[in-house]
Amino acid sequence: MSIVICQINALIKVSLLELYRRKDIAVVLILGAVLLLPLSFVSPFGLSGAGTYFNEIALVMVWLFSIFIALGVSSRVFPYEFEKRTIYPLLAKPVGRGVVIAGRYLGALTAAVSALCLFYAAYVLLCGFKQGIWFSEALLQAFILHIGLLAVVVAIGMMGSLIMTTSANVTISILVVFAMLLFGASLSALAATQNLVAKTVLNIANAIAPHIEFFDMRQRLVHEWPAVSWLVCAAVMGYAAVYSTVCLFIADFFLKRRRF
């Protein structure tokens, strides 16, 4: 048992090193700052006091960047290992393929979450200065649910990378994530209005596609709605845990089947 923890620990450290050595985060943070700074000085009609628009745009950026980082990190881990043949010395070590999946997953997730912490810190700073609101229960919940979101997105990216080519995987993952974000909540309502075939397809999609919209607390944050019940949060995090575990089992199946 302790050797597995030791192995996973090693894999996590390497993933973090990779993310920061590649300077992706630095680039994204600079990008965000350059986009947001001019926006923060907007004062419509010379009137001050508007902050909601800024809050919303900043949060949209946090969402976009964190999803891109999560997919970028998770979708290239295994293709990179195969392409550069680093998988050989890795698998020659006394480490099971299941542990490699788990370690690589946790590594990618840790990397994505560490980036997320930076993004949220920047978000809180910017919006705190702009709107004077530094903390709310809803903010904490949004952050926690965002971690759940990344858990799902990283698992999807990793699973896809073992089934498809990288470009197909990234395209499909992005499509699924954003489609579910926009339409996930209305799938079942949409299904009710369709004919039998379309209804079945939509209902299946509703059942198996990742419900990204569960993790989306942006509306509550931006428009200062009260926090949701922590029970609901727990349910959503449970969903994230189950969903990513299933994805990882599928990934594990494909990695075990793979011959080098």
Partner 1 sequence: MSVIQLENVVKTFGAVKAVNELSFHVKRGEITGFLGANGAGKTTTMKMLLGFIKPDSGRVLINEKDPAVAVTRKQIGYMPEIAYYYPYLKAYELLRFYGGLCGMTKKEIAVRSKMLITKVGLTGAENRELKTFSKGMLQRIGIAQALLHNPDVYILDEPFTGLDPLARIQFRDLLLEEKKAGKTILFSSHELSEAELICDNVVILKEGKAVWSGTTAEVAGDGTQNLERVFLKMLAADANEGEAI
Partner 2 sequence: MKSLYNSCFDNSERIRILQISVGLFVIVCLQWGLTSAKIDLPQKKGNSLMSLISDDTRNVISSSMMDKVESYFHGGVKVDNCSLDDAIEHVMHDGEESHGEENEQAHHEVALTLFNPVLWVNSKIHAQEHHHLVPKRSVELLPWIVAASRASPHNIQSYQIGSYILNRMVGKSQIAIDFLQEGIKNNPASFELEVSLAEIFFNTRKDKERARESFEIALVKCQALGRELSDDEVFVEMKIYFYLGLIAKERGDTNRLRTIFQMALKANPNNTVTYSLTGWLAELESKK
Binding positions for partner 2, rule: CB under 8 A: 23, 27, 30-31, 34-35, 38-39, 42, 44-53, 145, 184-185, 187-188, 206, 211, 213-214, 216-217, 219-220, 222-225, 228-229, 232, 235-236, 239
**The entry of partner 1, partner 2, none that residue 75 binds, CB within 5 to 8 Å by partner kind:** none
| 13 touches partner 1 (CB under 8 A) | yes
Q: How many CB atoms lie within 10 A of CB 240?
A: 23
Which pair of tokens denotes residue 102? 């788990």
| 21 touches partner 1 (CB under 8 A) | yes
Number of shown-chain residues binding partner 1 (CB under 8 A): 28
As a whole number of angstroms, the distance between CA 61 and CA 222 comes to: 13
Return the closest-CA partner of residue 191 out of 181, 202, 183, 182: 202
Scanning 32-40, 71-79, 83-91, 165-173 for contacts with partner 1 by CB under 8 A, the matching segment is: 83-91
Dihedral sign of CA atoms 111, 113, 118, 119 in order: positive
Report, in Å, the least distance between residue 93 CB and partner 1. Answer: 4
Q: In this structure, what is the dihedral angle of CA atoms 229, 231, 237, 242, given to the nearest 10 degrees?
A: -150
Report, in Å, the least distance between residue 191 CB and partner 2. Answer: 11
**Residues with Cβ within 8 Å of residue 92, at least 6 apart in sequence:** none
Among 25, 70, 95, 145, binds partner 1 (CB under 8 A): 95
Assess contact for 154 and 74: CB atoms under 8 A.
Answer: yes
Q: Which residues bind partner 1 (CB under 8 A)?
A: 2-3, 6-7, 9-11, 13-14, 17-18, 21-22, 84-86, 88-96, 99, 259-260
